[in-house]
Amino acid sequence: MRGVLRAAVLGLSLASAAIGCSGGSGGGDSIVVGHVASMTGDTATFGRSADQGMRMAIEEINAKGGVLGKKLDLVTEDDRSVTEEARTAAQKLLQRDRVIALLGEVASSRSLAAGPEAERAKVPMISPGSTNPKVTEGKEYVFRACFIDPFQGAVMARFAAQELHAKRLAILFDFKQDYSVGLAEFFRETVKKDGGEIVADERYTSGDIEFRAQLTTIRAANPDAIFVPGYYTELGLIAKQARELGITVPLLGGDGWDSEKTLEIGGSAVEGYYFSTHYAADSTDPRVQEFVKRFGEKYGGTPDAMAALGYDTARILADALTRAGSTEGPKLRDAIAATQNFEGVTGKITIDEHHNARKDAVVLKIEGGKFRFYRNVSAE
């Protein structure tokens, strides 16, 4: 089925392997870092945004002389938004390019697929945006630059109760994605703990295009708000079909919505909806403003959360490399684990003992075809 693509990928890998040899990836004048990313497929904006953020960070670092006297070099491997391919991509980067660290993936299922490869090779991996707790659990070499879903799920559950006064809540989640399953679970828990009620609990599968059956069931349960912790492609279709069925209550989501594609696919159907994410591009923080300005100059457009996280992730790695004074896996791992109060554009980052970043979340509202900062939620 993927024969032609395989051939193309093989051709490309051979070509880049040749370049890798002549360029001197091992012990040459550059330090090679790998990026496992969804550059194409259903969540393509995640990989592309993160990659843009990382490349921008690396460009800035190299302009200042690089790290350990060498330039950083980023090699990106596309996993086409397919879980199994993330593992293959990680293997390629580790074995073919001999990368000293892996960055990525954004989607939790794919980070879970790539993580064991980093463990086996004893090469540190930092995920910019995987929020499912399992991604770093029991792993020595896997880190993340973002908060985790018990926090994100609670944020949205409390937001629904306090800001929207929603008592009756419905959930529609993607049971093929660890991210979505986990987020739904923590949302459910918090709602119940706080005395709310889950009146409908429906599911779908990544890649589905027809959601009217689930939405009709949800509509019959008459909820005050609907939590859809999925990714943006399905969300856009769900929002449209919900409006068609006459559902007027707001949809709520997590950082999986954070893509310009949400606005492109959903159009007017996503107006007035809320989601939690890592940063707001319209924040007044001068650090964020500076980042947004430079990103716009380099690529055009406004950076989304994955771009900001990608930027922070690459800078965390560079910071750890400098502190470790070495590219050896164990030393680099210890340096990343010791990251304290690192000033990122997505907030102040401290890596905790579970390899997670403790950070605040923001809630954005979709208004006038734009994401707008709505409120800040502290991690405390």
Partner 1 sequence: MENLLQQLLNGVTWGSIYALIALGYTMVYGVLRLINFAHGEVYMIGAMSGFYVARALGLGVEPSLLGLIGVLVASMAICGVLGATIERVAYRPLRGAGRLAPLITAIGVSLFLQNAGQLVFGADPKFFPPLLRASEVFRAGHVAITNIQLTVLVTALLLMGALEFIVQRTRFGRAMRAVAYDAPAAALMGVPVDRVISGTFVLGSVLAAAAGILVGLSNPKIDPLMGLMPGLKAFVAAVLGGIGSVPGAMVGGLLLGVIETLVTGYLSSTYRDAIAFVILVVILLYRPTGLFGAPQTEKV
Residues within the interface to partner 1 (CB under 8 A): 1-5, 8, 40-42, 44, 80, 175, 202-205, 208-210, 212-214, 216-217, 219-220, 233, 236-237, 240-241, 243-246, 264-265, 267
CB of 149 to partner 1, least distance (A): 21
Q: How far apart are CA 105 and CA 276, in angstroms?
A: 19
Pseudo-torsion of CA 117, 17, 326, 104, nearest 10°?
-40
CB of 231 to partner 1, least distance (A): 11
CB of 88 to partner 1, least distance (A): 15
Strand partners, 280: none
CB of 239 to partner 1, least distance (A): 11
Q: Which lies closer to partner 1 via its Cβ, residue 119 or residue 201?
A: 201
CB of 302 to partner 1, least distance (A): 20
Distance from the Cα of residue 248 to its chain's centroid = 29
Whose CA is closest to 185, among 195, 175, 194?
175
SS3 191: helix
- SS3 sequence of 31-88: EEEEEEECCCCCCHHHHHHHHHHHHHHHHHHHHCCCECCEEEEEEEEECCCCHHHHHH
Q: How far apart are CA 355 and CA 142, in angstroms?
A: 7
**Quick one: DSSP state of residue 250?**
P
